[in-house]
């Protein structure tokens, strides 16, 4: 009588040890990129950071699900008390301030970027910088609109004014997207199997 082996919990969930390691690595990268400096314009309390560079990379390199999980892990660990948010902040306080919309939208930005990249890859189209930029622009739009909402609430201004306060951050984010797009395209050229789903 033969017996069949039971798959491990990791295999059952569709996540390999490599997947989990990549998720943790990109979460750590986002934390490192949280080093920030205050912009000379906009609403106080909303710094400019390199976080979006790492978030774009998470989605573009890992794909939708793993990218989303990497950014979510970063947000959860920061909310739990590890000082990895911009400016060394931690805990739940940042979720009640002007940065709350950004924090909540970060995982969605990675999800959208990864989704677009995966759709092109599924059609046999090479992942290029242009493909990443298309997904990243959509993700950036979500982050900007969500950030504008939290700014408007915190500053007690209209949503339209909140959008006006959020827009000056967009050019810097698009520059980060361009860098992330070049890096991600190079990674996928070197490792074309990176987006292949594992059993």
Q: What is the pLDDT of residue 41?
A: 56
Query: Which of 182, 176, 172 is CA-nearest to residue 132?
Result: 182
Residue 45: pLDDT band (50, 70, 90) is low
Model confidence at 74: pLDDT above 60: yes
pLDDT tens track for 111-165: 999 999 999 998 888 899 999 999 999 999 999 999 999 999 999 999 999 999 9
CA dihedral for 72, 77, 83, 89, sign (positive or negative): positive
- Cα separation, 51 vs 34, in Å, equals 5
- Cα separation, 163 vs 157, in Å, equals 10
Strand partners, 36: 49
Mean pLDDT of the region 40-67: 86
Give yes or no for a contact between 113 and 59, defined as CB atoms under 8 angstroms apart: yes
Model confidence at 39: pLDDT above 90: no
- For 129, 137, 197, the CA distances from 189, given in Å and listed in that order, are 11, 22, 17
- For 78, 103, 125, the CA distances from 148, given in Å and listed in that order, are 22, 12, 35
Burial class of residue 155 in the structure, from the number of CB atoms within 10 Å of its CB (0-12 exposed, 13-18 middle, 19+ buried): middle
Mean pLDDT over each residue of the chain, to the nearest integer: 89
Residue pointed to by tokens 């959860």:
76
Integer-rounded Cα radius of gyration of the chain: 18
Mean pLDDT of the region 29-34: 94
Model confidence, pTM = 0.89
Q: What is the pLDDT of residue 30?
A: 97
User: Could you tell me the residue ranges of all domains in the chain?
Assistant: 15-192
Query: Which of 19, 34, 28, 60 is CA-nearest to residue 182?
Result: 60
Give yes or no for a contact between 59 and 67, defined as CB atoms under 8 angstroms apart: yes
> Where on the phi/psi map is residue 137: left (φ > 0), alpha (ψ -120 to 50), or beta?
alpha
What 8-state DSSP symbol labels residue 145? Answer: H
Q: Which helix (H) or strand (E) holds 48?
A: strand 48-49
Query: Which of 41, 119, 31, 128 is CA-nearest to residue 70?
Result: 31
The fold adopted by the segment(s) 15-192 is Arp2/3 complex 21 kDa subunit ARPC3 (1.10.1760)
């Amino acid at each position: 009588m033969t017996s069949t082996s039971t798959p491990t919990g990791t295999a059952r969930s569709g996540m390999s040890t490599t997947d989990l390691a990549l998720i943790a690595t990109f979460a750590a990268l986002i934390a490192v990129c949280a080093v920030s400096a205050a912009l000379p314009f906009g609403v106080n309390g909303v710094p400019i950071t390199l976080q979006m560079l790492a978030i774009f990379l998470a989605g573009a390199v890992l794909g939708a699900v793993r990218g989303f999980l990497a950014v979510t892990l970063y947000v959860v660990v920061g909310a739990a008390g590890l000082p990895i948010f911009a400016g060394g902040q931690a805990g739940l306080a940042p979720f009640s301030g002007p940065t709350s919309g950004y924090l909540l939208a970060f995982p969605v930005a990675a999800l959208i970027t990864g989704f677009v990249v995966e759709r092109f890859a599924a059609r046999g189209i090479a992942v290029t910088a242009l493909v990443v930029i298309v997904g990243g622009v959509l993700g950036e739009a979500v982050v900007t609109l969500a950030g504008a909402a939290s700014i408007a609430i915190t500053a007690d201004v209209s949503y339209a004014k909140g959008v006006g306060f959020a827009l000056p951050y967009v050019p810097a984010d698009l520059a980060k997207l361009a860098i992330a797009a070049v890096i991600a395209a190079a990674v996928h050229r070197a490792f074309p199997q990176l987006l292949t789903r594992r059993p």
